[in-house]
Structure 1
Amino acid sequence: MGFFDIFKKKAEPETPAPTGPMMVAADAKGTIVPMESIPDDVFAQGILGKCCGIDPAEGKVFAPVDGVITQAPDTLHALGIQGNGGVEVLIHVGVDTVEMKGDGFSANVKVGDKIKKGQLLLTMDLDKIKAAGHPAVVITVITNTDEFADVDVVASGEVEPGADMIKVTK
C-alpha cells in the first residue's frame, strides 16, 4: 500500500446502522403514559411525532439511545438527540415547564456531547414542578416518525430506565 492509499480508504461509521428494529429505552423510572393521555394536545395528537410519556417516580432522566445532544435550551426542560441509526428523539420534561426558566432542573450534558443509552442526562425537582402547577410527565418523541415504516410504543405500566419503550422499524 502506497502513502496516498491511506487517504483513499473511506472512514467507517462510528456505529453501523441497525438492520432490524431499533429500541428506544425508557428514559425515567415511573408509569407509562400513552400518547393520547399526555396532558398537552401537541404531544397527545402526535403533532411532533409518535411519543409516550412516563409519570416519573424520581427526578432523573436518562439517555434513551446512543447519540449526540443536538438541542439543550437554557430552560433545561427539553433535550434533542440525534440517535445512532437515524432516529431523532425529543425529551420534553413536564408540561409548560418552559415557564420555570430552568428553576428545578440541572443538565449533565450540553449540545454536541456524545451520549450512551442509560447515561444520566438531567435531574429535575419533582416537588418544584408540582408546586409550579405543572404535570411532570417525561415525554419522549420520535420527531422523525415519518421516516420509519413503524414506530410503536411497546411498554406499559411501570418501567425502569433502560427498559424497551418504543420500537422503531425502518
Structure 2
Amino acid sequence: MGFFDFLKKKPEAAPAAPSFPMTLAADAKGTVVPMEQIPDEVFAQGILGKCCGIDPTEGKVYAPVDGTITQAPGSGHALGLEGNGGVEVLIHVGVDTVEMKGDGFSPKVKEGDKVKKGQLLLEMDLAKIAAANHPAVVITVVTNTDDFKDVELVASGSVEPGADLLKISK
C-alpha cells in the first residue's frame, strides 16, 4: 500500500434512513405481556405511550433498535433510547423497581452510547427483584407514539431476544 493510498479511500456512505413500517425487536427472553395486562396503571393505560411487556425468563435486556442511549439513571432499572427514524423508546425493567436503588441491576451502557439492535444493555437479578416483591416485567414503551400512525404489538407467547415485537407505522 502506497503512502497516499488513504486519499483514494471511498467516503463511507451515510446510513440509510430507516423505512417504515419499522419493527422494534424483543429486548428480553420470556413471555409477551400485552399493554393492558402490565401490572402498572401508567403503562397499562398507555399514558407514557403504546407499549408492551415481556415477563423475563433470564436477566438480560437487549437493544430493540439501533440508536443512542438518551437516559441511563443511576438506579439501572430503566433506559431511554432514541432509535433511528426518531423513535423514542423507554425500557423499564420491572414495576416499582426504582425503589431497589440499583440493587440487582447492572447497566452495560451509559448516556450517549451508540447501540446496535440486539446489543446487551443491562443485566438484572431476577431473584432479587422477586425477593423485593416487584414484578420483573420488562416494559418497552414508544414514548413518542403520537408521532406515528400506529404502534402495534406483533408478538405473543414466548419470544427470544431479537424477535419482532412492536411494529411502528408512519
Q: C-alpha separation between the residues in 2 aligned to 1:70 and 1:16? A: 21
- Asked if 1:91 is matched to 2:84, the reply is no
2:3 corresponds to: none
Give the secondary structure class of the aligned counterpart of 2:79.
strand
Q: How does 1:3-18 map to 2 (within 5 A)?
A: 14-18=14-18
Shift of 1:52: 0.2
Shift of 1:14: 4.5
- Asked if 1:46 is matched to 2:46, the reply is yes
Once the two structures are superposed, residues 20-52 of structure 1 have per-residue CA deviations (whole angstroms, 9 ceiling, x without a partner) of 311000000000000000000000000000000
2:110 corresponds to: 110
2:66 corresponds to: 66
1:146 corresponds to: 146
Q: C-alpha separation between the residues in 2 aligned to 1:59 and 1:155? A: 20
Once the two structures are superposed, residues 104-135 of structure 1 have per-residue CA deviations (whole angstroms, 9 ceiling, x without a partner) of 00010000000000000000000000000100
1:8 corresponds to: none
Shift of 1:13: 8.7
Give the secondary structure class of the aligned counterpart of 2:17.
coil
Give the secondary structure class of the aligned counterpart of 1:28.
coil
Q: C-alpha separation between the residues in 2 aligned to 1:20 and 1:140? A: 19
TM-score by length of 2: 0.91
Shift of 1:87: 0.4
Q: C-alpha separation between the residues in 2 aligned to 1:66 and 1:19? A: 13
Once the two structures are superposed, residues 49-107 of structure 1 have per-residue CA deviations (whole angstroms, 9 ceiling, x without a partner) of 00000000000000000000000000000000000111000000000000000000001
TM-score by length of 1: 0.91
Gaps of 5+ in 1: 1-11
Shift of 1:18: 2.1
Gaps of 5+ in 2: 1-11
Q: What is the one-letter code of the residue matched to 1:34?
A: P
Give the secondary structure class of the aligned counterpart of 2:75.
coil
Shift of 1:19: 2.8
Give the secondary structure class of the aligned counterpart of 2:129.
helix
Identity across matched positions, percent = 77
Shift of 1:17: 2.3
Higher alpha-carbon deviation: 15-24 or 68-77: 15-24
Q: C-alpha separation between the residues in 2 aligned to 1:137 and 1:61? A: 11
Could you say what the CA RMSD is over the residues aligned between the two structures, in angstroms?
1.4
